[in-house]
Amino acid sequence: MEEKDSKQLSWLMIALIAFNIVWGLGNVVNNFAQQGIVVITSWILLLIIYFIPYTLMVGQLGSTFKNSEGGVSDWIKSTSTKQLAFFAAWTYWVVQIPYLAQKPQTILIALGWAFQWNGRILESLSMPMIVGLSLLTFLFLLYISTKGLKALKFLGTLAGGAMLVMSVLFILMAVGVPLIKSDLQLATQHMDRLSTYIPKFDFSYFTTIALLVFSVGGAEAISPYVNKVKNPAKGFPKGMIAMVIMVGACAILGSLAMAMIFDSNHIPADLMRNGAYQAFAVLGKHWGIGNFLVTVYALTQAIGQAATLAICIDAPLQIFLGSADKDFIPSWLRKRTKSGMLINGYLLTGILVAIIIVLPLLGLKEIDGLVVWMTNLNAIVSPMCFLWVFVAYMFLYRRWDKFKNVEYKFVKNRRLGFLVGAWGFAFTAFACILGMAPQVDMATHPTEWWFTLITNIITPIALLGLGLLLPLAARREKK
C-alpha cells in the first residue's frame, strides 16, 4: 500500500510539471529576435537531437539515484569523486549569478510597460542611471530575501501560474487572429513557402545555438519525481515525450505568431526588450481589448521576476551550502545567523551579482545593447551546469555493472549509453563556446563588440575559477 501511495503521478502530471519548469514566453521572443522565422526549423532540430535525449538521460539518473537529495552533485559523487561533486555543486550555484543580475532590468522594463504602456522610460535614461536603478532593485530584493517573506513566494507562485496561462493565451490569440480578420496582412512575407523556414547554416547561425540550449535547460529539476510516476519504465518516457511535444508546439506556434506580428527580415533592435509587450499590444488591438493584456502581462512579469530573484538567492545557497563538505568549503562561508540564514553566502552572492550589474558601464551605451548582452551571457554561462548531467551519465556507464538494475533505463547498451552522454556534452560545450561570439556589428559598434567578446570569455572562466579557491581556503583553515 505504501509503495502504491508513493507513486501517485501520472505521465500527464509529470509532463505538466516538467513543462512548467522548462518553458516560458521569453524563450520564444528571445530566440525569434536572434534568428527570425527560421528559428522554427532550429526548434525542431534541437528537440530531436538534443532535448529528447537530455530529458530521458535525466530520467535515468533520477531513477538510479532516487534517494539522493543533492541532485546532480550527488550523481557525480556516486559515480566519481567528492572533488568533482563539489565542482558540480559550485557550477550549479555560480551560474545563477548572471541569471540574478538580469532580473532587476527585467523588472524595470516590466514596470515601465505596466504604468506607461510603452518601453520608452528606460530609453531616456543614461547607462549609469539604468545600472544604478538595477543595483538598487537588486539590493532591495536581496534584503527582502533575508527576511524569508512567505507573501512574496506566494505571489511568485501565482505569477508563475499566470505567466504559463499568458504564454498559452498568446499563442491561441495570435493563431486565432486570421479567423476574425480575413484581410490580415502578415508582417513576414512568404510564410506559405518552405524556403522561408530554411536557415543559412553559417558561423553566425551557430553562434545563436547557445540561447536555444539555454531555453530548454533545467529538466534535471524533475529528477526527484521519476520514481513517483506510476510504472516509471513506461510512464516517465511517455511523460517526457508529452512534455517535448508541448514545448515544441509552444515554440513553433509561438514563433509563427511572432512572425505574423514582426517582420522576420527586419527584426527591431528592441525586440528582446519589448517584443512580448508589443506583441500583446498588437493582439489587444486586433481583439478589441486595448492594453488590458499588456498590463496583465507586465504586472505578472514584474511580480514573478521579483519573487524569482528573491527565491533564487536563497534556495540555491541552501542546496549548495546546506550539505557542504568541510574539505572543500571554509567555515566562514558556511556561517549561519541565529535564524539559520547563510549570512556570508548572501554577502558573496551580493558582491558577485553587483559586479555583473555594474560591468556594462565599461562598454555599453544603451538599454537594448544591455538586454542583448545580458541575455546572451546567460545563454553562455547557464548551460555550463548542464555539462555535469552528461558527465554523470557517462560515469554511470563506466560503472554500469553497479547501476544497471534500475526501474527506468533510457539506453541499455553500455557503450551506446556512454556515447549518448558524450554527444550531449559535446553539443552543449560547442554551443557555449560559439555563443561567446558577439551578436553586434564590429564595424558600427567596435567598443561594444570588444566589451561583449571579452566579458563573454572572462565571466564564465572567472566564475568557475573562483570555485577552485574555496578548497584551497578550506585546506588552509584546517592547517
Identify the structural domains of the chain with CATH numbers, from first to last. 11-478 (1.20.1740.10)
pLDDT at 394: 94
Out of 3-12, 320-329, 416-425, pick the least confident: 3-12
pLDDT in tens, 337-377: 887 788 899 999 999 999 999 999 999 988 999 999 999 99
Residues ≥6 apart with Cβ < 8 Å to 52: 240, 241, 244
Sign of CA dihedral 124, 159, 344, 93: negative
Q: How far apart are the first and last CA of the chain?
A: 53
Beta-ladder partners of 229:
9
pLDDT in tens, 233-255: 778 888 888 888 989 999 999 99
- CA-nearest of 28, 453, 382 to 207 is 453
pLDDT at 459: 96
pLDDT at 254: 92
pLDDT at 229: 80
Question: Which of 160 and 167 is assigned the larger pLDDT?
Answer: 167
Distance CA(166)–CA(280), nearest Å, equals 10
Considering 66-80, 91-105, 113-127, 394-408, the range whose residues carry the highest mean pLDDT is 91-105
Given a cut of 50, whether residue 5 has pLDDT beyond it is no
Given a cut of 90, whether residue 453 has pLDDT beyond it is yes
Q: Model's pTM, two decimal places?
A: 0.91
Given a cut of 70, whether residue 24 has pLDDT beyond it is yes
Distance CA(41)–CA(192), nearest Å, equals 14
- CA-nearest of 438, 426, 316, 437 to 49 is 426
The average pLDDT across 161-175 equals 84
Given a cut of 70, whether residue 317 has pLDDT beyond it is yes
The average pLDDT across 197-223 equals 89
pLDDT at 324: 66
pLDDT at 218: 79
- Retrieve residue 72's grid coordinates: 546532480
- CA-nearest of 27, 100, 20 to 306 is 100
> Is residue 188 a contact partner of residue 262, using CB atoms and an 8 Å limit?
yes
pLDDT at 340: 78
Q: Mean pLDDT across the chain, nearest whole number?
A: 87
Distance CA(460)–CA(479), nearest Å, equals 31
Question: Which of 74 and 437 is assigned the larger pLDDT?
Answer: 437
Residue with cell 531513477: 63
Given a cut of 90, whether residue 449 has pLDDT beyond it is yes
pLDDT in tens, 110-145: 999 988 877 788 888 899 999 999 999 999 988 888
pLDDT at 64: 84
pLDDT at 1: 41
Considering 55-64, 289-298, 314-323, the range whose residues carry the highest mean pLDDT is 289-298
Given a cut of 70, whether residue 296 has pLDDT beyond it is yes
pLDDT at 153: 65
Q: How confident is the model at residue 3 (pLDDT cuts 50, 70, 90)?
A: very low
Distance CA(364)–CA(367), nearest Å, equals 8
Q: What is the DSSP letter of 229?
A: B
